[in-house]
Each structure stands twice: as structure tokens, then as C-alpha cells.
Amino acid sequence: MRIVRMIATPVLLLALLGFLTWGAWWGYRNVMAPVPAHLPDPCVTQSVGQTLQANKVTVSVYNGGYVAGQANTVAKALKAKGFIIKHVDNTDQRIKQTVIVGAAATNPEVKLVAGHFKGATVKADDRPDHTVDVMIGTAYAGMNAKAATSIAVPGGAVCLPTSATPTPSGSSSGTPAPSVTPKR
């Protein structure tokens, strides 16, 4: 019996040490993992009559070019047209052409914002909150001064973000990243 105890004790201690090591590794890995981003609130279908006005559309502007302050300048111009500016920041990547990103390229809010930019490319990312991101590139062609501030909406209803409160241009609210990761 004494031999069994002499063998069982070290084996049990090694098993416990292995379990303790695995627990420490698992805990460290989970503590060091990035915090998951807060998912945006889904949009709410709202009646807008026959047209969607710029003052109902929430836009974030990101600078992917080399001109410092260009995102802020574009955000101020969009705000002057009536758009709600949610976030202004830079992107980690360089972008060549201006890119408009929204839930779907055919959504009225995306079309309305895209109409304000010359030579912009429109991309869809199926975002649930229906905000629109404008990413200014190195070959920014400028804004369309004659762009409309409203767009016809068949059926009179459109899905818009739940909290459409304007913020000062250049402010940051910690919103989730667009398809091109913003620099934090």
C-alpha cells in the first residue's frame, strides 16, 4: 500500500500542476483578448413621407488620404447640408478614391450621401444601424455643390438609426469601425 501511495502522490501532484498551468494559460488568454466591439443598435423603420431629408441621415467621415484635417472639412460641409455627423476620424489604410459604405448600395440614405461626392465608389456591408460612412481617399475629387439634400422614398418608410442626435463636427463617440478599420 505504501508503494501505491508513493507513486500516486507525485502523479496526482503532476496532474494538478498540469491543470493549474492550463487554467493559468486559459485565464491569461481570455484576459488579454480584445474586448468585443459594441454592436450598433439596429435601425427602426420610420415614416419619412415621400422624401428622405438629409437631417435624418447619420454619417461618419474617415480620412484615408494624406491631407490632414480633410475628414473634418468634409464633415463640416456635410453638416452644413443638414446631415447628422456621428464620427470623424482617420483610417489605418490608405484609400485612393472616395468610398461610401452603407447597409446596401440601393438604400436611400446611401444614395443621398453618395450624390454629394464626385467619383465616389459605393460599397455595402449589411450594417444593421443604417448609418453611412464616407471614406475620403488620396485622390479625393471633391464634393458636388449642386447635390440634393433629399431623395424620393418609394412607400415613404425607411430604416434609420434609433438615436439620430446631432453632434458637433469633429467629435468622436466611440462608434464601431467601418469596413476599413479606423485608427484609434
Percent residues over pLDDT 70 in the chain: 86
Please count the residues of the chain.
184
pLDDT at position 167: 40
Which residues on neighbouring strands pair with residue 53, listed in sequence order? 150
Tell me what the mean pLDDT of segment 146-175 comes to: 68
Map 142-159 to HEC letters: CECCCCCCEEECCCCEEE
For residue 33, the Cα-to-chain-centroid distance in whole angstroms is 20
pTM for the full predicted model? 0.68
Tell me what the mean pLDDT of segment 49-75 comes to: 93
* Domain limits, the chain: 1-33, 44-160
Tell me, what amino acid is at 145?
A
> Has residue 173 got a pLDDT over 80?
no
Q: For residue range 160-171, list pLDDT tens digits in order.
A: 887 544 444 343
Tell me what the mean pLDDT of segment 105-124 comes to: 94
